[in-house]
């Protein structure tokens, strides 16, 4: 291991803050990459697989485990090198007294831009975060050359390539290393049917269907209860994936982000967090649905994440885990309390009558000049870093395509699925 991981509490935005840790973040305030280290930034849903590839998982060795001189450094999408909370401290906000209880306004809370040291000895910058802004767009605009790999579920288009050529003097390659799948999550005790087709999901999120009994063929005992569609922040990668998938499965419906935020009963929550459902009051919990990635569901149930104790305390008297001195410092978190509808499905079906579900890619976006570089990365090797890690068309398999790399991707809950797309964005036939 070359950098340790600390944890970030995920927030559930439903007037409360959830307590489940959903990201292991490198301690960037203690570690900054050296000049020849390879740096990856971007999507939070993809970060776990890259963490595993870099540093291993349990008995599975990662690339850095071999003790190579130069490291593969994967920065997670959260945390802060300046020691700040990711949110405005609610204890510092004005309160309103209602019936002897103090309340704050949700609009007074502010998300803070986290910072990071992308290279040793350099000043802090805003941490690249998210598959779009922090992965694809970060490398498109990285004229300092500090970011080597953009993590993103998104493909590249001609405009991206032209921007890269203008800003960087090079175009980009996209290497897909794995596939994940977004499905619909509900509580384990739910009024939802076992399957929700894509047409129904569209109508629910548009507000055209507001109760279970309005779903054709519904036979549950609680047909009159109101459906609670949980929506994700507009800048969340999984929200963009949801909008894209619903659109693909409802051809010609003109699906937009606004379309899927129109139901007046919707509640905005943090992406990829089971407490978005489990922390709801029971009456809402059994009627809630939310788009959720299968890879995160699987990783949660592997014991990788840890439970924190914020909900055992209060803002005035917090109770947090104390590493090693607290017997609960390592209480595994899991996906208990939620289920995935049609969780074993794998194929995308572009039809509103098919169960909702859509695959999405785990991409590494790299510069063409790094792929074609003749400068070896590690002492004693002839391979540059792209060839060693991601794509090597004329030699031994890159690490992500070896049995060791594929085992780590599987451990991260996703399916190894290797494709390469060139500077024209067309897929390259692999031997």
The confidence score (pLDDT) of residue 104 equals: 85
HEC string of 301-367? Answer: CCCCCEECCHHHCCCCCCCCCCCCCCCCCCCECCCCCEEEECCCCCCCCCCCCCECCEEEEEEEEEE
Same domain, 25 and 163: yes
The answer to the question of residue 314 being in a domain is no
The confidence score (pLDDT) of residue 198 equals: 98
Under the banding of pLDDT at 50, 70 and 90, the label for residue 18 is very low
The confidence score (pLDDT) of residue 9 equals: 32
The answer to the question of residue 405 being in a domain is yes
The answer to the question of residue 86 being in a domain is yes
Percent of the chain with pLDDT over 90: 66
Does the pLDDT value for residue 49 go beyond 60?
Answer: yes
If one compares 230 and 96, the residue with the highest pLDDT of the two is 230
Same domain, 21 and 167: yes
The answer to the question of residue 124 being in a domain is yes
If one compares 405 and 100, the residue with the highest pLDDT of the two is 405
- Partners of 226 in the β-ladder: 211
- Of 87-91, 307-311, 394-398, the one with minimum mean pLDDT is 307-311
If one compares 408 and 24, the residue with the highest pLDDT of the two is 408
Same domain, 197 and 281: yes
If one compares 103 and 397, the residue with the highest pLDDT of the two is 397
The confidence score (pLDDT) of residue 4 equals: 34
Same domain, 367 and 403: yes
What is the DSSP secondary structure assignment for residue 216, as one 8-state letter?
T
Distance between CA atoms of residues 206 and 197, nearest Å: 14
Same domain, 372 and 262: no
pTM, two decimals, is 0.86
Same domain, 153 and 270: no
The confidence score (pLDDT) of residue 24 equals: 37
Same domain, 191 and 159: no
The answer to the question of residue 284 being in a domain is yes
Determine whether 357 is exposed, middle or buried from the number of CB atoms within 10 Å of its CB (0-12, 13-18, 19+).
buried
The confidence score (pLDDT) of residue 29 equals: 41
The answer to the question of residue 305 being in a domain is no
The answer to the question of residue 212 being in a domain is yes
The confidence score (pLDDT) of residue 7 equals: 31
The answer to the question of residue 394 being in a domain is yes
The confidence score (pLDDT) of residue 91 equals: 76
Question: Each residue of 355-379: pLDDT tens digit?
Answer: 999 999 999 999 999 999 999 999 9
Which residue blocks in 86-173 are alpha helix, DSSP H?
137-140, 158-168
Same domain, 175 and 232: no
Under the banding of pLDDT at 50, 70 and 90, the label for residue 131 is confident
Same domain, 162 and 23: yes
Give the number of domains in the chain. Answer: 2
HEC string of 288-302? Answer: EEEEEEHHHHHHHCC
- Domain residues for the domain of 381 are 5-180+360-421
Same domain, 238 and 273: yes
What is the DSSP secondary structure assignment for residue 398, as one 8-state letter?
P
CATH number at residue 415: 3.40.190.10
Give the pair of three-digit tokens for residue 167. Answer: 């800003």
Same domain, 14 and 124: yes
CB atoms within 10 A of CB 327: 9
Question: Each residue of 75-100: pLDDT tens digit?
Answer: 988 877 777 777 777 777 888 888 88
Does the pLDDT value for residue 258 go beyond 60?
Answer: yes
Same domain, 73 and 217: no
């Amino acid at each position: 291991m070359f950098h340790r991981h600390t944890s970030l509490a995920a927030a559930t935005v439903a007037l409360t803050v959830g307590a489940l840790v959903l990201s292991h973040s490198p301690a960037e305030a203690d570690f900054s990459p050296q000049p020849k280290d390879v740096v990856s930034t971007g999507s939070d849903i993809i970060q776990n697989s890259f963490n595993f590839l870099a540093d291993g998982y349990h008995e599975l060795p990662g690339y850095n485990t071999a003790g190579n001189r130069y490291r593969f450094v994967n920065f997670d999408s959260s945390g802060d090198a300046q020691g700040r909370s990711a949110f405005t401290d609610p204890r510092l906000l004005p309160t309103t007294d209602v019936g002897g209880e103090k309340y704050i306004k949700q609009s007074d809370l502010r998300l803070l831009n986290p910072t990071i040291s992308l290279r040793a000895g350099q000043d802090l910058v805003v941490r690249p975060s998210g598959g779009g802004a922090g992965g694809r767009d970060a490398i498109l605009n990285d004229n300092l050359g500090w970011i080597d790999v953009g993590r993103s579920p998104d493909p590249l288009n001609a405009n991206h390539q032209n921007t890269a050529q203008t800003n960087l003097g090079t175009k980009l390659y996209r290497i897909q290393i794995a596939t994940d799948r977004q499905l619909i999550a509900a509580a384990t005790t739910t009024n939802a049917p076992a399957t929700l087709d894509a047409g129904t999901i569209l109508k629910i999120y548009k507000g055209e269907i507001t109760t279970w009994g309005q779903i054709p063929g519904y036979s549950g005992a609680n047909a009159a209860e109101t459906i609670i569609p949980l929506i994700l922040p507009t800048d969340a990668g999984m929200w963009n994936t949801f909008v894209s998938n619903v659109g693909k499965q409802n051809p010609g419906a003109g699906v937009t982000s606004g379309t899927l935020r129109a139901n007046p009963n919707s509640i905005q929550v943090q992406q990829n967090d089971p407490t978005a459902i489990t922390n709801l009051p029971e009456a809402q919990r059994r009627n809630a649905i939310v788009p959720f990635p299968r890879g995160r569901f699987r990783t949660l149930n592997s014991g990788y994440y840890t439970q924190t104790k914020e909900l055992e305390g209060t803002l005035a008297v917090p109770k947090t885990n104390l590493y090693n001195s607290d017997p609960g410092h390592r209480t595994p978190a899991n996906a208990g309390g939620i289920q995935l509808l049609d969780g074993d499905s794998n194929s995308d079906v572009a039809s509103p009558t098919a169960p909702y579900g859509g695959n999405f890619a785990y991409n590494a976006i790299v510069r063409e000049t790094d792929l074609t570089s003749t400068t070896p990365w590690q002492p004693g090797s002839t391979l540059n870093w792209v060839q060693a890690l991601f794509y090597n068309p004329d030699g031994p398999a890159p690490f992500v395509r070896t049995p060791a790399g594929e085992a780590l991707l599987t451990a991260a809950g996703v399916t190894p699925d290797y494709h390469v797309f060139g500077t024209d964005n067309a897929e390259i036939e692999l031997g």
